[in-house]
């Protein structure tokens, strides 16, 4: 498989169309040109393209017919959807990545809200939850049905470009570094390094959105909406507040993404050795990779949440009497107090207020969030990459045949 070109082989097979037409075989259902349901066979391999038995060791995932003739053997062209045509590879990865990022964050946003609440170091009585489902029930019952998705719009805006760069950078660097580290084979080290480098671009875009999102997710958040939150942070704390947790986020996300990508690629080697489009393997690999990486980096995520939210009681922990009895747990910007800055200070504050156990506050919610989140991200990304590449190649074949 090559990074920037189609991998093509020619195989002599009977002239039977890869898709099923209406007739004796029964009708089929297609979505975006992909056969989903066949009347005689049911679901088609979880959207998986047909395998070619003539070459079982070939890492192929897409089988397209060039110019079939009835009852006559024809030549089929087989391409690998992971090897994209030159000139469109980056745009394909970016489009697929943007869709995957937006769907991931939007679908899992309520759980993300619960995670932020459960990582509070000094929650108010009304914001103390037993588990994730208890938190969701309490939030909806006491604060309204739309409260768990407050701030969703800013995450959708940030997730699109952030994940577009994230996946495009990862795919490009993965092949380049693999050719250097282990030519002609997959390298787990190269996968991890590519994930780390892609994270730098991703977090540069997502960090301001994370700050706004988490401040709006906090219990008794004083902000009316996204624009009010952005304006208030800018006026009270300056533009630097949007990147106060950037180094901490990188410190957390670099090992997170290294573990995430290395685990995902390793599981793909076990579950999907031919690297064909296989939704079930993408979902399982993504979910397990996300769970392992999330559990290992929870302490850093707690510190990042503290730096983003500037939780008032934590900020004023060293100033006795700074907050009166019954003061709400909002954010430091709302009280005009000092700010926690830097990973070291965040670690000391977390340990001082809750000991070692505080570093794993919200670990259950984080794992519950990350497992479906990464599963959604990878499965949507791989699906759109497959569909886009298939349609591009079909257009090229059509254009070539039209010129003959």
Mean pLDDT of 296-318: 79
**DSSP symbol at 99:** H
Residue 37 has pLDDT above 50, yes or no: no
pLDDT value of position 389:
82
**Cα–Cα distance for residue pair 169/93, rounded to 1 Å:** 9
pLDDT band, very low/low/confident/very high, at 292 (cuts 50, 70, 90) = very high
**Cα–Cα distance for residue pair 148/240, rounded to 1 Å:** 27
Count of C-beta atoms within a 10 Å radius of residue 144: 10
CB 84 within 8 A of CB 318: no
pLDDT value of position 404:
65
User: With pLDDT > 70 as the criterion, what percentage of the chain qualifies?
Assistant: 71
CB 36 within 8 A of CB 25: no
**Higher pLDDT, residue 186 or 79:** 186
Least confident of 115-119, 333-337, 365-369: 333-337
Q: What ranges in 221-359 are assigned the alpha helix state H?
A: 226-237, 246-271, 279-296, 298-309, 312-315, 332-335, 343-354
pLDDT value of position 190:
87
pLDDT value of position 313:
62
**Cα–Cα distance for residue pair 400/404, rounded to 1 Å:** 7
pLDDT value of position 312:
67
Mean pLDDT of all residues belonging to the chain: 75
Give the right CATH number for 90-403 from 3.40.50.720, 3.40.50.150, 1.50.40.10, 3.30.450.20.
1.50.40.10
CB 209 within 8 A of CB 154: yes
**Cα–Cα distance for residue pair 207/253, rounded to 1 Å:** 11
Domain ranges of the chain: 90-403
Mean pLDDT of 217-222: 87
**Higher pLDDT, residue 57 or 307:** 307
pLDDT value of position 314:
62
Least confident of 105-109, 237-241, 358-362, 400-404: 400-404
């Amino acid at each position: 498989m090559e990074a920037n070109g189609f991998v093509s082989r020619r195989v002599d097979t009977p002239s039977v169309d890869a898709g099923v037409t209406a007739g004796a075989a029964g009708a089929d259902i297609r979505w975006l040109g992909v056969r989903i349901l066949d009347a005689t066979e049911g679901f088609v391999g979880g959207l998986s393209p047909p395998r070619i038995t003539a070459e079982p060791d070939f890492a192929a995932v897409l089988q397209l017919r060039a110019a079939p003739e009835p009852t006559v053997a024809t030549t089929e062209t087989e391409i690998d959807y992971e090897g994209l045509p030159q000139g469109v590879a980056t745009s394909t990865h970016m489009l697929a990545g943007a869709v995957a990022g937006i769907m991931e964050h939007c679908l899992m946003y309520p759980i993300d809200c619960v995670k932020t609440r459960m990582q509070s170091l000094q929650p108010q009585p009304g914001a103390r939850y037993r588990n994730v489902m208890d938190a969701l029930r309490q939030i909806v019952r006491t604060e309204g049905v739309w409260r768990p998705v407050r701030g969703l719009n800013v995450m959708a805006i940030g997730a699109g470009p952030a994940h577009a760069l994230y996946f495009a950078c990862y795919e490009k660097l993965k092949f380049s570094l693999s050719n250097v580290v282990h030519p002609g084979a997959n390298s787990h080290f190269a996968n991890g390094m590519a994930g780390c480098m892609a994270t730098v671009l991703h977090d540069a875009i997502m960090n301001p959105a994370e700050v706004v999102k988490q401040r709006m997710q906090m219990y008794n958040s004083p902000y009316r909406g996204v624009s009010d939150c952005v304006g208030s942070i800018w006026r009270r704390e300056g533009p630097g507040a949007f990147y106060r947790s950037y180094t901490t986020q990188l410190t957390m996300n670099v090992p997170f993404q290294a573990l995430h990508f290395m685990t995902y690629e390793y599981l793909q080697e076990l579950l999907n050795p031919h690297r064909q489009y296989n939704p079930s393997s993408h979902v399982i690999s993504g979910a397990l990779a996300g769970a392992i990486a999330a559990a290992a980096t929870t302490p850093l995520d707690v510190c990042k949440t503290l730096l983003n939210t500037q939780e008032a009681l934590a900020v004023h922990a060293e100033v006795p009497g700074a907050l009166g009895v019954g003061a709400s747990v909002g954010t430091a910007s709302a009280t005009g107090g000092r700010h926690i800055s830097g990973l070291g200070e965040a670690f000391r504050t977390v340990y001082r207020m809750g000991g070692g156990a505080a570093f794993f506050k919200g670990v259950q919610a984080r794992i519950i969030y990350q497992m479906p989140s990464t599963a959604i991200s990878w499965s949507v990304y791989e699906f759109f990459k497959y569909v886009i590449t298939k349609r591009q190649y079909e257009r090229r074949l059509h254009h070539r045949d039209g010129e003959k």
